[in-house]
Amino acid sequence: MTINKRITVITDPKYNLHDTGGGEHPEIPERLQIINGRLTSGHLAGMVDFASPRPATRSELMAFHPESWLFRFEEAVLSGRTYIDHPDNQIGFESFEIATLSAGAGLCGIDLIEQDGLQGERIIFCSTRPPGHHAEPTRPFGFCFLNNCVLAARYWQQRYGRRRLCVLDFDAHHGNGIQTAFEEDGEVLYISIHEHPSFSYPGTGWAEEHGLGPGKGKILNIPLAPGSNDAGVLAALDGPVRSLLEQFRPEAFVIAAGFDAHLLDDMSGLAYSSELYGKIGARLAVWSKEFCCGRLVSILEGGYHLPVLADCVENYLSGLLLTKP
């Protein structure tokens, strides 16, 4: 079944300027180059257009990050430091500016969806770096500085009044920063499928955690053992994830779209196929249509095996279009 939708990829060449020091750092500009190149030349090319992000404003960043962190981040960059707190979090002179532009991609995507209104059939994919889901309010973690998905969710709530949101995260690593943001929030559902925290950075995301206080029941962590493949993911999506979504009925989805659980990606011990991402996309398309008129924004998180990253993103977007990859 083909639905006549367009894919808008929000990206910017400036993202290449976020300097992670070269060497063996996995979070490199080539990741976006290979994704954007495939979307321009692959079988989706005729359905893709590109849009530029705008930087997130200070006030939009402060929906999750206190000003003290923003100052510290800026100061570290301006003073020429090469990383903040840990060598994982490499920075260059442009990194603060680019991180705000990365955070702004999701906000732009949301603006486009809301402008389209009920007639909209647009798929939004933020092809952006640095990633965000490990960033905590006051400190960077795991290559992340500003939490792009959290900021997008808060923007959707505050600017457009969409209070009941689902942030669904299929990156191989648990989004500790997203859980921090929403752990005590009854309006936002955080669902994460990731490698078991005993074996995977950042060592968070236990199945026993369900949220606290007003947020109780609004966290669903699905840790998968190393070596887990498509079957485990599909069972989770078609089982507990679907049940919880049917109860919660979100007004919009923010998707933390990481592609590092692929078998060939050595940044995790999971073993997904490229085709699985198409199946994930297809399910999200059906659910977003069922619950919220298709309001869904996908924001790139991880994915570090360059050739296969392009395959996975292409399959995912094909799935969202409900076309076969």
Partner 1 sequence: MFIQYSMTPDPVTIGADMPVIEAAAMLRKKRFRHLPVVDGDGRLLAMLTDRDLRSACPSTVLSLEEREQVLEKVKATSISEIMSTDFVALQPTSTLDDALLLFQTHNIGALPVIDDQGRVIGIFSLNDMMTAYRRLFGLGEKGSVLVAIEDADDQAALGSLVNALERKNVFFTRLVRVPGQGREPDIVYLRVNTMNIRAVHRIVEDAGFTIHVPSIQP
Strand partners for 165:
188, 252
Judge whether 106 and 297 are in contact, CB under 8 Å. Answer: yes
CB 242, min distance to partner 1, A: 20
Q: In this complex, which beta carbon is closest to partner 1, that of residue 130 or of residue 325?
A: 130
| 325 sits in which H/E element | none
Q: In this complex, which beta carbon is closest to partner 1, that of residue 47 or of residue 264?
A: 264
Question: Taking Cα atoms as reference points, which of 140, 139, 108 lies closest to residue 125?
Answer: 108
Which of the following is catalytic: 18, 65, 133, 134? 134
Pairing of strands 86-90, 83-84: antiparallel
What distances in angstroms separate CA 164 from CA 141, 156, 182, 314, 323, one per listed residue? 27, 10, 12, 29, 28
Burial of residue 164, with CB atoms counted within 10 A of its CB: 0-12 exposed, 13-18 middle, 19 or more buried = middle
Judge whether 161 and 130 are in contact, CB under 8 Å. Answer: no
Looking at the chain, how many residues does it have? 325
Q: In this complex, which beta carbon is closest to partner 1, that of residue 16 or of residue 229?
A: 229
Judge whether 165 and 252 are in contact, CB under 8 Å. Answer: yes
Q: In this complex, which beta carbon is closest to partner 1, that of residue 100 or of residue 268?
A: 268
> Which residues here bind partner 1, judged by CB under 8 A?
24-26, 86-88, 134, 141-143, 173, 176, 197-204, 206, 224-229, 231-232, 266-269, 304
Pairing of strands 123-126, 296-300: parallel
Judge whether 148 and 132 are in contact, CB under 8 Å. Answer: yes
Q: In this complex, which beta carbon is closest to partner 1, that of residue 203 or of residue 217?
A: 203
Q: In this complex, which beta carbon is closest to partner 1, that of residue 224 or of residue 308?
A: 224
CB 249, min distance to partner 1, A: 31
Is 134 an active-site residue? yes
The pair of three-digit structure tokens given for residue 138, joined into one six-digit string: 């006051």
**Radius of gyration, CA atoms only, the chain:** 18
CB 281, min distance to partner 1, A: 22
Q: What is d(CA 259, CA 213) in angstroms, rounded to the nearest whole number? A: 32
First to last CA, the chain: 12
- Asked if the bond preceding 226 is cis, omega within 30° of 0, the reply is no
Q: What is d(CA 228, CA 106) in angstroms, rounded to the nearest whole number? A: 30
Catalytic residues: 134
